[in-house]
Chain A
C-alpha cells in the first residue's frame, strides 16, 4: 500500500510546478495530478483499485465546474477519502469559501499562492505524518516522506519478534 498525494489544479503550468516541487517525495509516495473534479474522482477510483491510500489532497479553489472547496466537502462523504488530509493551494478563495472549507470540509492547511517550495514540502511532509500518526499506519514503508522523529513513537508498540 502506497500513500498518495493528489494535486487538483486546472492550470497546467501551475499543476506542473506543484508536481515538480514535490518531486523528491516521488518513490516514497505516489504523486497524482488532476485538472478538474471528475478527473480527481477518476484518480481516486484508480488509487482504490491499486489498493493505495489517498493521504493528502492539494486543491485549488477556482476550477471549471465544481469548485475545489465543494470537492473537499464531498471527500467527507466517501469512505475512501473520509480520512484524507486537505490543503487549499489558492489565491482566489474569498472569505465565504474559506469559512466553508474550514467548517464543512475540515480543511487542514491553507497555502496562499504563490507558494514557497520549501514551505510546500514541509506542509506536505507534516500532513502525511499527521495522517500516518492519526491512523496508526505502519510508518516504515513511507518513512522517507515523513517526519521520521515524530513517527518513532508508533514503532514502540510493535515489540520484538
Chain B
C-alpha cells in the first residue's frame, strides 16, 4: 500500500461578479471620505465614515465572508481611530483595547452560554425529545398538529438558533412529508417550520443574533434590557405573528382531514452527564427568567453554564470548538461598529443630514421597520442589524421615543424578513427540500412579515407604553 496521504485539493471559491464589484465599490467608498474634505465632520468622523461605508458595501455584497467584514471593522478602527492609530488623531479617541473588547462584550458572553446550552440540547437529543413530548396534545387533527409543530418550533427557537431549530424540526417533519401526497399540504408543512423558527427567534435575547446586537448597543448606552424584560417586549408580537402565520398557512394549504401521523416517541437520555446537563440548562433558564428577583445580569448568568458544563466535563474542548464562533464574531463586529460611530461623532453628523424631527414619529418608525425588513430580506439579518442599530439608536436621542423601543423594534424588524430562500437559513433549508417554490415562499413570507412589521411599527410601541414596559 502506498504510504503517502492524499490531500484533496482545496481550491479557493471563485468570486462572483457581485463580489468583484463589491471589492471595487467598497474600496472607492472607503477612500472617498479620506480624500475629500467633508464639511462639519471631524477627522475621526471622516475616518469612521470610511470604515462604515466599506462595511455597508461588504456586508451587502458579501465580497468577503460576513465574519471577515466584522473583523475588518475592528482592525480598521484600531488602526485608524484608536489611540494606536497609524496616523494619530488630534481629538480624544478610544483605546485600542476598547475596540477589541467588543469580542468579549457581555452580550457575547450571554450568547456563549446560550450556544453551549443549545449545543448540549442537541448532544443529548433533548430538543427532539422535548418536541415529541410537547407535540402529544396536538396529535389527531392536521391543522392542530401544524399548530403544535409551529409553537414548539418557535419555543425551541427562542433558546436555540433558528437554523438549528429548523434542522431539528425538519428531522421530525421529513418522515411526515414523505407519506403526504404531493401537493399543497406538503408546501404548507414545509413552510410552517421556517416561518415559526424565524418568528420564534425574536422571543428572547439569545434567540437570534440581531437581538444581541440591539441589546449590546443598548447596554453600551446604559439602557440595557433584562432577559425577562426583552421577553415581555417581544413575546406578544411573536405569539400574534405565529398564530396569524398558522391561520394563513393552514387555511391556504392544509385541509383539516389531511392524514398527518406525528412520531411522538421520546427516549430521554438518562446518563449522568445528560442529567447534569438538564439541571444546569434548567437552572440557567430559571435564573434568566428571575433576574428581577436576584439582580444577576443575564450575561453573568450565561457564563454559569459555561463554567458548570466544563467543570463537570459534561462538555469539553471539542464542544467549545464546535460553537458558532463566526456568529459571535459577526455580532462583535457590529458592537465595535456602533462603538466607533458613537465615539467619533459620526452618528450626530449623519443624523444632521436629514431633518428627522420634521417627520411624524410613526412615519419614522415605519420607515425604520421597512428599511430593516427590506434589507434583511436580501442580506444577512445580523449584518442589517449591525448597520441599522447604531444609526437608529442615535436617531432616538433627538426624538420623543425611548431608545430601548427603537433598538428592539429594529432587531425585530430584521427577524421578520422571510420572503426569499436567501432571507434566512431556515428558508434556505425549506426551499432545498423541493416542497416549497420561490413564489409560495415570497407570498407567504411577505404576508407574514408584512403583518408583523405593521404591528411592530404601529401597535406594539403603544402596547409597551400602555403596559409601562419602557
Chain A contact residues, CB within 8 Å of chain B: 51, 76-80, 82-83, 139-141, 143-144, 148-149, 152-161
CA distance A154 to B164 in the complex (A): 9
- Asked if residues A155 and B174 are in contact (CB atoms below 8 Å), the reply is no
Q: Which of A77, A78, A161 contacts B380 (CB 8 A)?
A: A161
Find the A residue at minimum CB distance from B160: A156
CA distance A140 to B166 in the complex (A): 13
- Asked if residues A157 and B322 are in contact (CB atoms below 8 Å), the reply is yes
- Asked if residues A155 and B163 are in contact (CB atoms below 8 Å), the reply is yes
- Asked if residues B434 and A144 are in contact (CB atoms below 8 Å), the reply is yes
- Contact flag A161-B381 (CB < 8 Å), given A143-B432, A149-B175: yes
- Contact flag A155-B164 (CB < 8 Å), given A140-B432, A160-B381, A161-B66: yes
Supply 7 A–B pairs (Cβ within 8 Å), ascending by A: A82-B8, A83-B8, A143-B434, A155-B166, A159-B326, A160-B201, A160-B382
Chain B contact residues, CB within 8 Å of chain A: 2, 6-9, 11, 66, 122, 161-164, 166-168, 170-171, 174-175, 201, 208-209, 322, 324, 326-327, 330, 380-383, 424-425, 428-429, 432-434
Given contact pairs A144-B434, A149-B175, A153-B167, enumerate 7 new A-B contacts (beta carbons under 8 Å): A77-B6, A78-B6, A82-B6, A152-B167, A153-B122, A160-B209, A161-B425
Most A CB atoms within 10 A — which of B327, B432, B433? Answer: B432
Contacts of B175 in A (CB 8 A): 149
- Asked if residues B432 and A159 are in contact (CB atoms below 8 Å), the reply is no
- Asked if residues A158 and B6 are in contact (CB atoms below 8 Å), the reply is no
CB distance from B56 to the nearest CB of A (A): 17
- Asked if residues B429 and A140 are in contact (CB atoms below 8 Å), the reply is yes
- Contact flag A160-B168 (CB < 8 Å), given A83-B8, A140-B432, A141-B432: no
Q: Which of B8, B162, B322, B326 contacts A79 (CB 8 A)?
A: B8
CA distance A143 to B424 in the complex (A): 17
CB distance from A107 to the nearest CB of B (A): 16
Find the B residue at minimum CB distance from A151: B167
CA distance A79 to B4 in the complex (A): 11
Contacts of B380 in A (CB 8 A): 161
CA distance A148 to B428 in the complex (A): 14
- Asked if residues B167 and A143 are in contact (CB atoms below 8 Å), the reply is no
- Asked if residues A149 and B428 are in contact (CB atoms below 8 Å), the reply is no
CA distance A30 to B66 in the complex (A): 31
Label chain A's interface by main secondary structure: loop
- Asked if residues B327 and A161 are in contact (CB atoms below 8 Å), the reply is yes
- Asked if residues B9 and A149 are in contact (CB atoms below 8 Å), the reply is no
Contacts of A144 in B (CB 8 A): 432-434
Contacts of A51 in B (CB 8 A): 11
- Asked if residues B324 and A158 are in contact (CB atoms below 8 Å), the reply is yes
- Contact flag A79-B7 (CB < 8 Å), given A143-B434, A159-B327, A161-B425: yes
- Asked if residues A159 and B324 are in contact (CB atoms below 8 Å), the reply is yes
CA distance A17 to B439 in the complex (A): 36
Contacts of B9 in A (CB 8 A): 79-80
CB distance from A4 to the nearest CB of B (A): 15
Return the 7 tightest CB-CB contacts between A and B, nearest first: A159-B324, A159-B327, A140-B432, A143-B432, A155-B167, A156-B164, A152-B167
- Asked if residues B174 and A160 are in contact (CB atoms below 8 Å), the reply is no
Contacts of A149 in B (CB 8 A): 170-171, 174-175
Find the A residue at minimum CB distance from B197: A160
CA distance A76 to B424 in the complex (A): 39
Q: Which of B11, B208, B322, B429 contacts A160 (CB 8 A)?
A: B208
Find the A residue at minimum CB distance from B208: A160
CA distance A128 to B161 in the complex (A): 27
- Asked if residues B433 and A148 are in contact (CB atoms below 8 Å), the reply is yes
- Contact flag A160-B161 (CB < 8 Å), given A79-B7, A82-B6, A83-B8: yes
CA distance A153 to B382 in the complex (A): 23
Find the A residue at minimum CB distance from B171: A152
Q: Which of B163, B209, B327 contacts A156 (CB 8 A)?
A: B163
CA distance A143 to B322 in the complex (A): 23
- Asked if residues B382 and A161 are in contact (CB atoms below 8 Å), the reply is yes
- Asked if residues A160 and B163 are in contact (CB atoms below 8 Å), the reply is yes
CA distance A160 to B209 in the complex (A): 7
- Asked if residues B425 and A155 are in contact (CB atoms below 8 Å), the reply is yes
CA distance A153 to B326 in the complex (A): 18
CA distance A152 to B127 in the complex (A): 14
CA distance A82 to B7 in the complex (A): 9
CB distance from A70 to the nearest CB of B (A): 15
- Asked if residues B433 and A159 are in contact (CB atoms below 8 Å), the reply is no
Contacts of A154 in B (CB 8 A): 167
CA distance A159 to B380 in the complex (A): 12
CA distance A157 to B323 in the complex (A): 8
CA distance A148 to B178 in the complex (A): 10
Contacts of B161 in A (CB 8 A): 156, 159-160
- Asked if residues B174 and A157 are in contact (CB atoms below 8 Å), the reply is no
Find the A residue at minimum CB distance from B428: A140
CA distance A104 to B162 in the complex (A): 44
- Asked if residues B164 and A148 are in contact (CB atoms below 8 Å), the reply is no
- Asked if residues A159 and B163 are in contact (CB atoms below 8 Å), the reply is yes
CA distance A157 to B123 in the complex (A): 12
CB distance from B321 to the nearest CB of A (A): 11
Contacts of B383 in A (CB 8 A): 161
CA distance A82 to B208 in the complex (A): 39
CB distance from B137 to the nearest CB of A (A): 24
CB distance from B379 to the nearest CB of A (A): 9
